[in-house]
Each structure stands twice: as C-alpha cells, then as structure tokens.
Amino acid sequence: MRAAYRDDDRGQVAVEFLGMVPVILLTLALLWQVVLVGYTFTLAGNAADEAARACAVGDDGEAAARRHIDGAWSVSGGGCVQGGGMVHVQVKVEVPALVPGFGGLFPVTADAGAVLEVPSS
C-alpha cells in the first residue's frame, strides 16, 4: 500500500519547475532592464561631462558626446551654451528595451558644466 502512494507524486517536481520558469524568466528580464537603466544614466552623465570639457576648450561638444557612447545607445544633444564664463551642455540618451540598439523606453537627460577656457568670439 505504501509503495503505491509514493508513485502518485512522480513528476511533481518537473511540473512545479515548469510552472515557475515563466516567473523566473520575467524576474531576470526585469532585473536586466533595471541594469540597463542604471548603465544609461552612467553613460549619459559621462557623455555630458566629456561634451562640456570639449566645449570648454573650443572643440565640438556633440562629437565628444557621441564618441563616449556606444553605438547601441541613441544620443541627442551635446551642444554648448556659454554664459558667465561657463559652458553648459545637456545630453539625452535613450534607455534601450532589454537589448541595446532595439528601441527606446524613455530618454535620460544629463547636464554638465565646465569653466570656459577659451575666450568667446
């Protein structure tokens, strides 16, 4: 009698695992998206800093911003605004949806400033 009872539970672990696979995959996808959002904030801040440094010495800020961002992230902005002996730059970077290079969920905006090192013309 006892051996027949044990046979009733055969395959239960496999069924429970298959039921949990979608939950596990969804959790991993959400965690990966959070990582991408954080990395995009880091990239945007660095690109804005580099664009501000380039503008401060008279170089092209937009080119500097694009140079410091991987091609999978879409970048806009990086133009220089001068005033009061300072240079200000704003850069927008799109957060990718799960895979860099495919779509954008929302833009991340980063601002940076630097002391103007060349006289304005």
| Cβ atoms of residues 78 and 97 within 8 Å | no
Q: Whose CA is closest to 34, among 115, 88, 95? A: 95
22-77: pLDDT as tens digits:
999 999 999 999 999 999 999 999 999 999 999 999 888 888 888 888 777 788 87
- Give whole-number Cα distances, 61 to 11, 90, 102, 121, in Å: 62, 10, 25, 17
| Cβ atoms of residues 81 and 89 within 8 Å | yes
- 100's enclosing H/E stretch is none
d(CA 81, CA 74): 21
Q: Which residues lie below 8 Å from residue 25, measured CB to CB, with a gap of 6+?
A: none
- Edge-first strand listing for the sheet containing 107-115: 75-83, 86-94, 107-115
**pLDDT > 90: what percent of the chain?**
41
Give the model's pLDDT for residue 4. Answer: 57
